[in-house]
Amino acid sequence: MSDPRPVDPSRSDDEAAWEDLVRRFHESDPVTPPPASTPAGPDPAGPRDHVVEEPEEDFVPPEPAPLSTAEPALAAAWTGVGVSLGLLLVITVFARSTPSLLTWALAGLFLVSAGYLGYRLPRDRHDGDDGAQV
């Protein structure tokens, strides 16, 4: 049975060139690396053996700022927004029958807190300022 693939006349030249390359590769002497010279003294120091000498200074870091420097009204407004939304979510998911007064009170707390936060937003714009601060 004949091969259904067309015969490429340049294929025989490619095969001959490849066989020549393989033959020359196997006939050539492998390049042997030169023997490593070992120092006569102790082992040379590696990158992990490097010790950084710290300068002796009497550095005393400054006192850190207090953790809570926010205004009490601003902190209460953020707390009101978070607590009211959280409780409304819990009530909606777990307790379907809640007093409507509690629901209205939480909704009012959210609106008042969010309104105060909106009132505290800056009103003036700086035209040349892109808002980035260092």
Question: Which amino acid does the sequence have at 67?
Answer: L
Tell me: the pLDDT tens digits for 41-73? 566 677 777 777 877 778 788 998 887 777 899
Min mean pLDDT across 29-33, 49-53, 110-114, 124-128 is at: 29-33
Cα–Cα distance for residue pair 15/8, rounded to 1 Å: 11
Given a contact cutoff of 8 angstroms between Cβ atoms, the answer to whether 80 and 113 are in contact is: yes
Q: Distance between terminal CA atoms of the chain?
A: 81
Measured at the CA of 81, the angle between CA 76 and CA 83, to 5 degrees, comes to 90
Tell me: the pLDDT tens digits for 20-36? 998 988 887 666 655 66
pTM value > 0.75:
no
Token representation of residue 19:
């066989």
